[in-house]
A = this chain, B = another copy of it.
């Protein structure tokens, strides 16, 4: 099968589009013939983490397609079912942290940037009917991350003020759509005038310049909830805009992971600083019900052919996208 896989030297240098043998389907597993896949920031990390000594690894955590082969004992799906990939392996219920055996599709096991993938059958989840194949291919990892951060962890409520610094990533655009659907007033920030404009078109109530004075721009309005994935570059600016008793959820640190905070501000402010990442199978089901109910479709940035993987990886590395970057897979 054709696949984008990593082998040998770390980084983009070790990434190739070419022919790779298919994996065999064992008991409890399914093979999904993939129609689409989604690129995530994690795929960049995988290129630096996959060992030079290990065999070729298909990259990618998100995908959608048709069940093609069903292993012994599988009852939840059958051949011909339209499904998306749950990128989280072995995290079933909504617990406060994933179990020790938790893994993510695309490292250590093969990922989705290929014509097919073999997975535990429970990781094949019914495709939301209102989504196109390209949309279904990009929805799971970012949608799930946004859902857990905003609902399970952030406990967003109707009427709350929610700040999303760094609108641009797939998770950030889902956060914007989910928070609006939940009835919140949504504030976003970006360094890019173009992204701020686009965010307003997507429903954001306010769009601030990331590099400006947020306190001035917000005229003293404080946030009930901040969902923060930028990290060091904006973290303390975000904390400053949080109301007493408010919550900041952090799930990313693309601009640095070391931050210095003042404990006294935190405890006099009775504030909550909560870490979040990914989510359980249970939360994925809740997220899918939510986007079906509100007819939410992912914000699509660009869709590439698998063979044009380099352009896609460069685009996410430079953070040029607004929304999700996808791959369309045809045989």
Known interface pairs A258-B260, A259-B260, A260-B259. Does A96 touch B266 (Cβ–Cβ under 8 Å)? no
Cβ-neighbour of A263 out of B245, B265, B269, B275 (below 8 A): B275
Cβ-neighbour of A260 out of B98, B260, B266 (below 8 A): B260
Known: A95-B245, A96-B270, A250-B267. 11 other contacts (CB 8 A): A96-B245, A97-B269, A252-B267, A257-B264, A258-B260, A267-B276, A267-B277, A268-B275, A268-B277, A270-B275, A271-B274
Of A232, A244, A275, A277, most buried by chain B (CB within 10 Å of CB) is: A275
Copies in the assembly, this chain: 2
Question: Which residues of A, 9-30, contact B by the 8 Å Cβ criterion?
Answer: none
A262 at the interface (CB under 8 A from B): yes
Q: List chain B residues, Cβ under 8 A from A264.
A: 253, 257
Q: What mask results when residues 177 to 219 of chain A are scored 1 for a CB within 8 Å of chain B, else 0?
A: 0000000000000000000000000000000000000000000
Contact surface of A with B, Cβ cutoff 8 Å: 95-98, 231-232, 235, 243-246, 250-253, 257-277
Known interface pairs A264-B257, A267-B250. Does A244 touch B97 (Cβ–Cβ under 8 Å)? yes
Closest-CB distance, A73 to chain B (whole angstroms) = 31
**How far, in whole Å, are A261 and B95 apart by their CA atoms in the complex?**
24
A259 contacts B263, C-beta separation under 8 Å: yes
